[in-house]
């Protein structure tokens, strides 16, 4: 049983904690919080040992009557790996501390690849990260792109990808992000950083991306144009995506014609926090014209990277060498059907 710590128990951190806790080869030995808010209280109620990431703020936790097990200095000694889920940019600073303490670290997509050194996606480059000390699980958008592009590349070979990504303006719990009444080219320059981010795990892929921000909180939406080396029939692509773990095909005809309806369906699935860990590809959108494949997909940004973090722990700690076996085990324990 491997010991995992979570530094930063927020949107991603609390989900990774739950996902680790339901595996049988790893356990949560502690989660950290900076602020004694409802998430800190919930962590304690769930039975996760709570550590303060800023020891000078101990008094705030006492005032809030939230019981802590110690400070982050006490947690470093207990973990085989720290999953760093702090806001973007802080993880790279924490990496220096993990190096000093001699512990492994997993970081999230808000960190820069260059500062961490390696990036990870379960489908694209699991085996390149066996035994590695520091690695970054690519962002929610990049995870969504890799989940569908890797199996398509395996089936047909990809000459080049052009993708336009419509990104949510904020997560549902955020009150300070936007826009609330605009469509914002973000960035207004081309390419966006997402294509290069895919290349940190699908190293030779020719991909250029453009991105927009829109006033929605539920999901991101991607529009892909993929030139194929050896175009097959669209039915072969459908069969391949249907057989790909963590990808589901949805149909507008069956009432799933929007991100709102997909998330309503996710609520009906009854999973924790109504999360949809799978990438939802619109079946009707799949089409091949003149050797070019077109499709549209939706990404639940708060949760798609969570199973990848679990697989990343297995790769780094060399618990499992075979990516397919890790993916299957993670999925089974998290109740992922797709």
Residues that bind ligand NAD (CB under 6 A): 7-13, 32-35, 39, 53, 85-88, 90, 108-111, 139-140, 171, 301-302, 305
Of the CA atoms within 13 Å of residue 258, those in its CB half-sphere come to 5
Nearer Cβ to ligand NAD (93/332): 93
Pair of tokens at residue 96: 């220096």
Nearer Cβ to ligand NAD (86/330): 86
Compute the least distance from the CB of residue 216 to ligand NAD, in Å.
13
Compute the least distance from the CB of residue 194 to ligand NAD, in Å.
12
Give the closest residue to 334 by CA, choosing from 291, 271, 279.
Answer: 271
DSSP assignment of 150-213 equals HHHHHHH-EEEEEEEEEEESS-TT-SS---SS--EESSSSSS-THHHHHTTTSTT--EEEEEEE
Nearer Cβ to ligand NAD (92/155): 92
Compute the least distance from the CB of residue 37 to ligand NAD, in Å.
8
Beta strands in the chain (DSSP E): 2-7, 26-33, 50-52, 70-71, 81-84, 104-107, 119-120, 134-137, 158-168, 184-185, 207-214, 220-228, 247-250, 279-282, 287-289, 292-299
Pair of tokens at residue 89: 């940019």
Compute the least distance from the CB of residue 87 to ligand NAD, in Å.
5
Compute the least distance from the CB of residue 60 to ligand NAD, in Å.
12
CB 334 within 8 A of CB 26: no
Pair of tokens at residue 281: 């590809």
Nearer Cβ to ligand NAD (293/336): 336
Nearer Cβ to ligand NAD (90/202): 90
Q: Catalytic: 312?
A: no
Compute the least distance from the CB of residue 317 to ligand NAD, in Å.
21
Q: Of the listed 140, 146, 156, 312, which one is catalytic?
A: 140
Give the closest residue to 208 by CA, choosing from 159, 147, 174, 261.
Answer: 159
CB 249 within 8 A of CB 281: yes
**How distant, in Å, are the alpha carbons of 109, 266, 274, 277 from that of 114?**
12, 35, 34, 27
Compute the least distance from the CB of residue 131 to ligand NAD, in Å.
24
Q: For 127-131, which contacts have Cβ atoms below 8 Å and span 24 or more sequence positions?
A: 127/315, 127/321, 127/323, 129/312, 129/315, 129/316, 130/315, 130/316, 130/318, 130/321, 131/315, 131/316, 131/318
Q: Which residue is nearest to ligand NAD (CB)?
A: 10
Nearer Cβ to ligand NAD (33/246): 33
Nearer Cβ to ligand NAD (155/247): 247
Catalytically annotated residues: 140
């Amino acid at each position: 049983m491997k010991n995992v710590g979570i530094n930063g128990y927020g949107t991603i951190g609390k989900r990774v904690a739950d996902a680790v806790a339901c595996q049988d080869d790893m356990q949560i030995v502690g989660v950290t919080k900076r602020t004694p808010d409802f998430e800190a209280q919930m962590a304690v109620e769930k039975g996760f040992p709570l550590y303060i990431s800023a020891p000078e703020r101990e008094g705030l936790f006492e005032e809030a009557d939230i019981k802590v097990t110690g400070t982050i200095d006490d947690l470093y000694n207990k973990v085989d790996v720290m999953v760093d889920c702090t806001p973007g940019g802080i993880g790279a600073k924490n990496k220096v501390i993990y190096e000093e303490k001699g512990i492994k670290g997993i970081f999230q997509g808000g960190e820069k690849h260059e500062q961490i050194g390696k990036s990870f996606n379960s489908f694209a480059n699991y085996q390149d990260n066996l035994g590695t000390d520091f690695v970054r699980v690519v962002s929610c958008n990049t995870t969504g792109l890799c989940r569908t592009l890797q199996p398509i590349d395996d089936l047909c070979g990809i000459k080049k990808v052009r993708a336009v990504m419509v990104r949510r303006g904020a997560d549902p719990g955020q009150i300070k992000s936007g826009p609330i009444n605009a469509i914002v080219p973000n960035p207004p320059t081309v390419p966006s950083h997402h294509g290069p981010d895919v290349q940190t795990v699908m190293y030779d892929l020719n991909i250029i991306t453009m991105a927009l921000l829109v006033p929605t909180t539920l999901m991101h939406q991607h529009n892909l144009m993929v030139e194929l080396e050896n175009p097959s029939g669209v039915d072969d692509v459908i069969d391949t995506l249907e057989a790909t773990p963590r990808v589901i095909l949805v149909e507008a005809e069956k009432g799933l014609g929007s991100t709102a309806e997909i998330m309503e369906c996710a609520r009906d699935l009854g999973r924790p926090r109504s999360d949809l860990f799978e990438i939802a590809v619109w079946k009707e959108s799949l089409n091949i014209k003149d050797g070019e494949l077109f499709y549209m997909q939706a990404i639940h940004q708060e949760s798609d990277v969570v199973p990848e973090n679990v697989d990343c722990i297995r790769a780094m700690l060399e618990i499992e060498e075979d990516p397919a076996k890790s993916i299957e085990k993670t999925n089974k324990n998290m109740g992922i059907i797709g």
